[in-house]
Amino acid sequence: MNRSDRQATNYGPGGENPAGTTHSAWAERLLILHREVRRAIAKADNAGTGAKNAKGDEVRLFDVAANDAGLAVFRKLELPVIIESEESGQLEVGLGAPRHRIVLDPVDGSDNWGRGLPLSALSCAVLPFGAPLHSDWVEAALVGPLERDSPMIALKGSGAWCGNDRLETSKLSKITNAMVSVELNHHSPSPGLARVMATARGVRCYGCASRALSLVAAGVTDAHVDVRGRLTVESYLAAALLVIEAGGKVVGLNGEPLAAPESLTDRVSLIAASSRELCDEIVELISNGQL
């Protein structure tokens, strides 16, 4: 039995899953998903396919391999689900009426993966069928690094975990002490974002939304800010539940709850922070900076 198999049966403190059987089943399924996607992408070529996905991004052979591996896992499980993937759009899998909606990004941070840069991930969120694309409705979520077999899983109402270790945000409340990640692809820092960057203790840019948010959930960074209006739901939905279950906040730029996108091509901005106080301070800096 390999490490991933052991985690699938010993997830949470003391070898027990922190939630009931429904949550436990999803934790195991998501761990299998991560393992199979990692196996597939490790063998895949970096070349482009000449195709573009629904967002207009180039599709590479490793994107296809990861997506095919993910779909194969759900087909083998024979679960009646709707899968919405960045690479293949919407698909119905399994027999009978769908019971869940799966939002899948097989390779978040694909530019990082393609260039051998550190941060990329499989991102997967599980919602009830027909539910809005919003973290309030996510029942189970995984952000799984593609370079290692230690994914983070969140189970609604039961916490966020990496193996047997429960995740907690740093609870930091002051921007002057905070390590903040920002997303700058296709964006020149606006006055509001510049104020955040100038005030924070430290600033990082990772190029992978799911991993940046998961670092907030793990307490490694204190906030993540994306003001570009370019972020799509498959990249942040799973990680948002990680942050929330670890004790953090995820909001829109005005501090209000995020709106629920209609589809995987709708774009948003967001702020994720380790505490309500830090979140409010970032919102104020952005607002006063006249975003």
The pLDDT value given to residue 22: 57
Say if residue 21's pLDDT is above 50: no
Rg (CA), the chain: 18
Are 3-166 and 175-288 the same fold in CATH?
A: no
Residue 23 has pLDDT above 80, yes or no: no
Residue 231 has pLDDT above 80, yes or no: yes
SS3 labels along the chain: CCHHHHHHHCCCHHHCCCCCHHHHHHHHHHHHHHHHHHHHHHCCCCCEEEEECCCCCEEEHHHHHHHHHHHHHHHHHCCCEEEEECCCEEEEECCCCCCEEEEEEEEECHHHHHHCCCCCEEEEEEEECCCCCCHHHCCEEEEEECCCCCCEEEECCCEEEECCEECCCCCCCCHHHCEEEECCCCCCCCHHHHHHHHHCCEEECCCCHHHHHHHHHCCCCCEEEEEEEEEEHHHHHHHHHHHHHCCCEEECCCCCCCCCCCCCCCEEEEEEECCHHHHHHHHHHHHHCCC
What is the average pLDDT value for the chain, to the nearest integer? 90
> Is pLDDT of 286 > 70?
yes
How far from 78 is each of 8, 41, 58, 127, 221, CA to CA, in Å? 18, 23, 30, 17, 38
Nearest to 272 by CA among 264, 261, 282, 259: 282
**What does the domain layout of the chain look like in residue ranges?**
3-166, 175-288
| pTM: predicted TM-score of the whole model, two decimal places | 0.90
Band (pLDDT 50/70/90 cuts) for residue 57 is confident
For residue 10, pLDDT beyond 60: no
Options 3.40.109.10, 3.40.190.80, 3.40.50.10260, 3.40.50.300; CATH for 175-288 is: 3.40.190.80
Scanning the structure block, which residue is given the tokens 């995740």? 167
CATH fold for domain 3-166: Fructose-1,6-Bisphosphatase; Chain A, domain 1 (3.30.540)
> Average pLDDT of 229-236?
96
**Higher pLDDT residue, 6 or 166?**
166
Range from 35-39, 50-54, 128-132, 256-260 carrying the lowest mean pLDDT: 50-54
